Amino acid sequence: MSVHLHWFLPTGGDGRTLVDRHAYTDGGVKRSRITPVTGIRPPDIDYLAQIARAADQLGFEGVLTPTGTWCEDSWVMTAALSQHTERLKFLVAFRPGLISPVLAAQMAATYQRLTRGRLMLNVVTGGDATEQKRFGDHLDHDSRYARTDEFLAVLRGAWEGRPFDFQGEHFDVRGGLTALPPDPLPEIFFGGSSPAAGPVAARHSDVYLTWGEPPEQVKQKIDWIGGLARAEGRTVRFGIRLHVITRDAAAEAWATADRLLGDLDADTVAAAQQALGRSESVGQQRMLALHGGQRDKLEITPNLWAGVGLVRGGAGTALVGSHGEVADRIEEYHALGIDHFILSGYPHLEEAYWFGEGVLPELAARGLLAPAPAGNPRPVPAPAGAPVLFAGGR
């Protein structure tokens, strides 16, 4: 089985630094900074379109957009970006507690028709009580997952194209339906490391997502969710969320990682760790445990670097190394059962090219790339050592 490669749209701002723009700046939107951070790029439509077009042209299957206070709205932004791309799919992150499941079903159907079938859904239950309350959601951690369970049952029911009734603790729907269901149905991506999350993933997700933990820990998750899914009579596929720093030589990649850490002082790291430590997310706590807030021994397994998680919430690890080494690690995770790789880098535009022109040919040579959709051939990067052609006279 081949791999599916996706990139990331930094709708909260981008830049050449690991300092979390969401926590320490305004993302460049107003260009006023709480702390002096250089190289910040605002998440405007022009810049995000550059990244989306690059991902489209390089051969990524889709792009993930985040959700939260410090991000542009994922539905609106990606609908706009769909008009700047031809083949690229959009993995739209949203929080099920903040929208009606029947309305979400209708929005997804409209989106599929607008984009000719390029929508995927990333259901984010939410692990930060402070942010949930900011949106008017006061449920506790486990209750949020119980609500997500009901939400996804209603969502799929409304896609059946006939009146659907549902009565639960969180939703009471009478005759809910989507008059014109989406075609195809969007794949549902879902993540969560807590005991409350597992059964929900097993019942509803098409792809279960994990953050970039060491292979042995990822294997444990695959076995856990796979077993729960089999008990439900279902099969779930698996994906992983990672950053990446890949260069022609490993030393160049590690030098880039060291430069990113060079931007961080002890107070910045301590403040970020304190804030992240308050998260209710079990996945976030697992990310923090990989480095313990310390700068030493950040390479926690070959080519897996936890430096990103010193200041960034969510995905906190990166694949670092030469193009061949990064391809090795992707092949290793794939052998465990990971099919979808959602990748990102700093800055996202430049790192998309480093990966697309460096690692994609390696994966293609190993027969690991998924075939491109009919009528949309994937660009094939020139192999290493290909002659450079110079045009003359124009």
149 touches 129 (CB < 8 A):
no
pLDDT at 275: 80
Print burial letters for 380-394: b (CB count within 10 Å at least 16), e (below 16): ebeeeeeeeeeeeee
Output the CA torsion sign for 272, 277, 283, 286: positive
26, pLDDT greater than 60: no
Output the CA torsion sign for 112, 345, 217, 273: negative
Over range 157-168, report the average pLDDT.
Answer: 95
Q: Distance between the two ends of the chain, CA-based, in angstroms?
A: 45
E strand or H helix at 79: helix 74-81
Q: What is the DSSP letter of 33?
A: B
Question: Which residues neighbour 277 within 8 Å (Cβ) at sequence distance 6 or greater?
Answer: 285, 288
Q: How far is CA 369 from the centre of its chain?
A: 19
pLDDT at 252: 98
23, pLDDT greater than 60: no
The band of 170, judged by pLDDT with boundaries at 50, 70 and 90, is very high
Structure tokens at 346: 């700093």
**Rounded percentage of the chain residues whose pLDDT exceeds 90:** 69
Between 366 and 40, whose confidence is greater? 366
Q: How far is CA 176 from the centre of its chain?
A: 30
**Rounded percentage of the chain residues whose pLDDT exceeds 70:** 89
The band of 37, judged by pLDDT with boundaries at 50, 70 and 90, is low
Over range 25-33, report the average pLDDT.
Answer: 47
Q: Report H helices in the chain.
A: 21-24, 45-58, 74-81, 101-115, 129-134, 141-158, 197-204, 215-231, 250-262, 266-277, 282-289, 323-336, 348-365
E strand or H helix at 376: none
Structure tokens at 194: 């807590």
Amino acid at the residue 245: I
Residue 110 CB coordination number (10 Å): 15
**Per mean pLDDT, which range of 103-117, 266-280, 350-364 is the poorest?**
266-280
> What gap in Å lies between CA 309 and CA 318, rounded to an integer?
9
130, pLDDT greater than 60: yes
Q: What does the angle CA 83 – CA 43 – CA 207 come to, to the nearest 5 degrees?
A: 65
Question: What value does the mean pLDDT of the chain take?
Answer: 88
Among 296-300, 304-308, 311-315, 329-333, name the most confident range.
Answer: 329-333
The pLDDT tens digits of the residues spanning 274-292 come to 888 778 888 888 888 888 8
Of 197, 114, 107, nearest to 148 by C-alpha is: 197
Of 200, 254, 244, nearest to 224 by C-alpha is: 200
Amino acid at the residue 192: G
Structure tokens at 265: 């002082």
Residue linked to tokens 């969510």: 314
Q: Is the peptide bond before 96 cis (omega within 30 degrees of 0)?
A: no
135 touches 98 (CB < 8 A):
yes
Helix, strand, coil content of the chain in percent (nearest 5): 40, 20, 40
